[in-house]
């Protein structure tokens, strides 16, 4: 049987009188890409924000690798292996691409986060491991050629890949991607699909929110469908594509 690395149980999140998420349960298994889809306002971003710890949940439980994390602050969840990207890119434009990834790596380290960026202190073997890890992340995200450029000078697609690179830098067990294909053109979406599969194949599970159905159907091992904050279906891409309830609530409109 598949092992869940991230478990969501009876998650509820209300904003005042708005029940954004109601009684939502699903698992993200080891080495799995799980898609989360649904119409606008169905609660996808609220789910990701609840998992990442952006705000407290109303009720329910979130477990990462067997440990309850729903009471932890955002930063501690990253350190425990849950990393995320945002729907819109936000980066420090004056930093280089490489510095950005180094900063992400330092989340799980004990030294001062800026020490390696600014070259403070001496180079330890830990630092050399870090350099190798950064090289590997830049390589899989296709950012090696622009690693020394300032973030403000790279393309918007490269900025989106950098967000994923930075999230990968903390060596996550699970990465949460909120609409990673937004603003990407067709060949960039292909690069993104390949990257998402590479991430899974390297051992990080992926939870991806996306409106591009071709991308979702191509990359996902399983899909959860939300409507009005509730799960209306779960299954393989093939099962979801042919599910009349999903077609009625979402895919009819998306197609
Ligand atoms: P999706 O990402 O699927 O488009 P969201 O999770 O952003 O949907 O929104 C789900 C519902 O929760 C919507 O009705 C939205 O207006 C509401 N909502 C989301 N975030 C907030 C917030 N911070 N305050 C109040 N209402 C919110
Ligand atoms: Mg959203």
Give the closest residue to 236 by CA, choosing from 255, 220, 254. 220
Number of C-beta neighbours around residue 1 at 10 A: 4
Residue 208 bridge partners (DSSP):
35, 177
Ligand in closest contact with the CA of 182: 2
In the structure, ligand 2 is a single-atom ion and the residues with CB under 5 Å from it are: 44-45
Query: What is the predicted pLDDT for the residue at 105?
Result: 79
Pocket lining: 104 vs ligand 1, CB cutoff 6 Å? no
Give the closest residue to 251 by CA, choosing from 212, 202, 196, 203. 212
> Considering the entire predicted model, what is its pTM?
0.90
**pLDDT, tens only, 188-233:** 999 999 999 999 999 999 999 999 999 999 999 999 999 999 999 9
* Residue 131 main-chain phi, psi, to 5 deg: -60, -40
How far apart are the CA of 213 and the centre of ligand 1, in A? 21
* Residue 153 main-chain phi, psi, to 5 deg: -100, -5
Give the closest residue to 166 by CA, choosing from 191, 126, 137, 202. 137
Pocket lining: 37 vs ligand 1, CB cutoff 6 Å? no
* Residue 114 main-chain phi, psi, to 5 deg: -95, -5
Average pLDDT estimate for 22-43: 97
Nearest-atom index, ligand 1, CA of 226: 3
Asked whether residue 2 carries a pLDDT value surpassing 80, the answer given is: no
- The mean of the pLDDT values for the chain is 89
Average pLDDT estimate for 93-113: 74
Asked whether residue 120 carries a pLDDT value surpassing 80, the answer given is: no
Ligand in closest contact with the CA of 226: 1
Query: What is the predicted pLDDT for the residue at 112?
Result: 43
Binned at pLDDT 50, 70 and 90, residue 110 comes out as: very low
Q: Where are the domains of the chain?
A: 1-81+172-255, 93-170
Q: Residue 189 and residue 181: Cα distance in Å, rounded? A: 6
**pLDDT, tens only, 138-170:** 999 999 999 999 998 999 999 999 999 999 998
Pocket mutation for ligand 1, best pick of 14, 16, 41, 216 (most atoms within 8 Å of C-beta):
41
Binned at pLDDT 50, 70 and 90, residue 114 comes out as: very low
Asked whether residue 48 carries a pLDDT value surpassing 70, the answer given is: yes
Nearest-atom index, ligand 1, CA of 46: 6
Pocket lining: 22 vs ligand 1, CB cutoff 6 Å? no
Torsion of CA 100, 138, 80, 47, to 10 degrees: 80
The CATH homologous superfamily for domain 1-81+172-255 is P-loop containing nucleotide triphosphate hydrolases (3.40.50.300)
Alpha helices in the chain (DSSP H): 44-52, 74-80, 97-105, 125-140, 156-169, 186-201, 213-219, 237-241, 244-246, 252-254
């Amino acid at each position: 049987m598949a092992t869940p690395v991230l478990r969501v149980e009876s998650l509820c999140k209300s904003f005042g009188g708005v029940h954004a998420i109601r009684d939502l349960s699903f698992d993200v298994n080891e080495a799995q890409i799980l898609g989360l889809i649904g119409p606008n306002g169905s609660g996808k971003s609220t789910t990701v924000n609840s998992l990442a710890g952006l705000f407290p949940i109303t009720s329910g439980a979130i477990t990462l690798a067997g440990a309850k994390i729903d009471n932890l602050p955002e930063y501690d969840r990253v350190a425990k292996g849950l990393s995320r990207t945002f729907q819109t890119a936000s980066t420090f434009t004056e930093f280089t691409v490489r510095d950005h990834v180094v900063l992400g790596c330092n989340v799980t380290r004990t030294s001062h986060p800026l020490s390696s960026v600014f070259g403070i202190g001496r180079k330890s073997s830990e630092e050399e491991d870090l350099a190798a890890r950064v090289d590997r992340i830049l390589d899989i995200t296709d950012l090696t050629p622009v690693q020394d450029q300032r973030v403000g000078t790279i393309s918007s697609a490269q900025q989106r890949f950098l967000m994923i690179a930075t999230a990968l830098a903390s060596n996550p067990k699970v990465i949460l991607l909120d609409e990673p294909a937004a603003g990407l053109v067709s060949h960039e979406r292909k690069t993104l699909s390949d990257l998402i599969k590479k991430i899974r194949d390297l051992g990080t599970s992926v939870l991806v929110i996306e409106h591009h159905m071709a991308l979702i159907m191509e990359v996902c091992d399983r899909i959860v469908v939300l409507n009005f904050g509730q799960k209306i279906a779960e299954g393989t891409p093939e099962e979801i594509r042919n599910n009349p309830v999903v077609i009625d609530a979402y895919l009819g409109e998306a197609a």
